[in-house]
Amino acid sequence: MKKIRWSHFVLAFGYIFLYLPLICVAVYSFNKSRFVSTWAGFSLKWYKALVSDPIVLHATWMSIKIACIAATVSVVLGTIAAIVIARFRRFRGKTFFIGAMTTPLVMPDIVMGLASLMLFIGMEKYVGWPSGCGITTVVISHITFTISYVVMIVHARLVDFDHSIEEAALDLGASPLKVFFVITLPMIFPAIIVGWLLSFALSIDDVVISSFVAGPGSTTLPMVIFSSLRFGISPQMNALATILIALLSTGVAISAIVNYRKKRVKGK
């Protein structure tokens, strides 16, 4: 009994530690006062101010667009790289290739940002592309570090993959391309989805690398929020954070419901 009570206490403490700050952000987004430390009553004024703020809306749309493009490209390239690592066990330069794919996982963001900036400056000088920093440079920089996460996730799924299913399909006359799209891809698809979601979250959350490679018109939402901290935390940012929390919570809830129904169907 003591062990059960202690585990419940630890679990409750963990939930409080993780979610109490999010609850505070949501509550104070409805605060009438501008000051976080003072509750002046319930109000929706900060949500109205958020909707009418063109800078925040533009930055939000820019972050979503960059994150979607970066996550999609990272998933495609990362899946191909993971298949090469998992299937082609012996090829010249494999160790270097794996190292190149995993190095961004441990590289500090400030080093990645500076290296990307120097690369784009050199390319513009000697190649003529890209013409200044902008959304293209931000997308490329985000792909360089998000692709590593996709490689690790998809590769972990491919390692535990039952290759006898593919071999059976090949023995029955299916082409390698058809085996990939009919058998391999559906079985690793959950890992691909996880890789896309993680890449999207990392891209939309990045502020350090984006600060180095972003140009006029490509300011992301984290950059706007970070720059606004010089004037104090605005309840308008709390309103924006609450909307993001609500959207993400809805997505997680829908995913959990779908997975629960799939398990019930398999159990029957």
pLDDT at 50 over 90: no
With a CB cutoff of 8 Å and minimum separation 6, the contacts of 131 are 124
Residue 26's Cβ-side half-sphere holds a number of Cα atoms within 13 Å equal to: 12
User: How far does CA 217 lie from the centroid of its chain?
Assistant: 22
pLDDT at 264 over 90: no
pLDDT (tens digit, 9 = 90+) per residue, 94-119? 888 888 888 888 899 999 999 999 99
pLDDT of residue 216: 83
> Cα–Cα distance between 142 and 204 in angstroms, integer?
9
Is 188:158 a contact under the CB 8 Å cutoff?
yes
Quote the DSSP letter at residue 31: B
pLDDT of residue 4: 60
pLDDT of residue 154: 93
pLDDT of residue 35: 77
Is 35:238 a contact under the CB 8 Å cutoff?
no
Find the mean pLDDT for residues 85-92. 80
Which pair of structure tokens corresponds to residue 49?
């101010």
Of 73, 87, 75, the closest CA to residue 158 belongs to 87
Q: Average pLDDT, whole number, for the chain?
A: 86
**In degrees to the nearest 10, what's the CA dihedral of 257, 262, 68, 18?**
40
> Cα–Cα distance between 223 and 208 in angstroms, integer?
8
> Cα–Cα distance between 176 and 182 in angstroms, integer?
10
Cα distance from N-terminal residue to C-terminal residue, the chain: 34
User: How far does CA 261 lie from the centroid of its chain?
Assistant: 26
Find the mean pLDDT for residues 118-132. 89
Superfamily the domain 56-233 falls into: MetI-like (1.10.3720.10)
> Cα–Cα distance between 198 and 196 in angstroms, integer?
5
266: pLDDT confidence band, cut at 50, 70 and 90?
Answer: low
Is 140:93 a contact under the CB 8 Å cutoff?
no
Find the mean pLDDT for residues 10-16. 89
pLDDT of residue 16: 92
Find the mean pLDDT for residues 232-246. 83
Is 58:214 a contact under the CB 8 Å cutoff?
no
| Alpha helix (H) residue ranges in 88-162 | 94-106, 109-126, 135-159
pLDDT (tens digit, 9 = 90+) per residue, 170-215? 888 888 889 888 888 888 888 898 899 889 989 998 999 999 999 8
pLDDT of residue 170: 85
pLDDT at 240 over 90: no
Is 62:219 a contact under the CB 8 Å cutoff?
yes
Of 125, 122, 144, the closest CA to residue 210 belongs to 144
pLDDT (tens digit, 9 = 90+) per residue, 139-152? 999 999 999 999 99
Higher pLDDT, residue 169 or 149 = 149
Q: How many helices (H) and strands (E) does the chain have?
A: 12, 0
1: pLDDT confidence band, cut at 50, 70 and 90?
Answer: very low
